[in-house]
Amino acid sequence: MKTIAEMAKMFGVSTRTIRYYEEIGLLEPERTENNQRLYSSAELAKLKLIFRGKRYGFSLDEIKEMVLLFNKDRTGRRQLERTIEYGERRLSEIEAKINELQEMKIEMEQLLVDFKEKYDQLDRN
């Protein structure tokens, strides 16, 4: 069991961030008699999934759905199905962004060639 301060330090976030995830129902820490939050290894695993999901660009609503589906279906099947669905959609978005950036790179390279030619012409005049 870990305290909220230990969890925050482990993940390099503020305790407020972890409390927010609790407020929106992503985490369910146990409480001591003094009302101190204690996080189990299961909550630690959820937090790892939350941060992985954020890193890959999933919304908190999507992350919440994926994390909480395991509680409804202990086989993990529904969670995997939804994760695959969201993952495929996110991958498609990433591929579109890569294509957009590649097109932008080609355009920028051509503009630089044009600008350099114009600059060289100014030197000749």
For the chain, the average pLDDT equals 91
The residue among 11, 9, 14 whose CA lies nearest residue 47 is 11
State the burial class of residue 39 (Cβ atoms within 10 Å of its Cβ: 0-12, 13-18, 19+): buried
Q: What is the pLDDT of residues 30-88, one digit of tens each?
A: 998 998 999 999 899 899 989 999 999 999 999 988 888 877 777 878 888 988 999 99
Contact in structure between 20 and 26 (CB atoms under 8 Å): no
Residue percentage of the chain with pLDDT more than 70: 100
The residue among 25, 5, 31 whose CA lies nearest residue 16 is 5
DSSP, collapsed to helix, strand or coil, labels residue 37 as strand
pTM above 0.85, yes or no: no
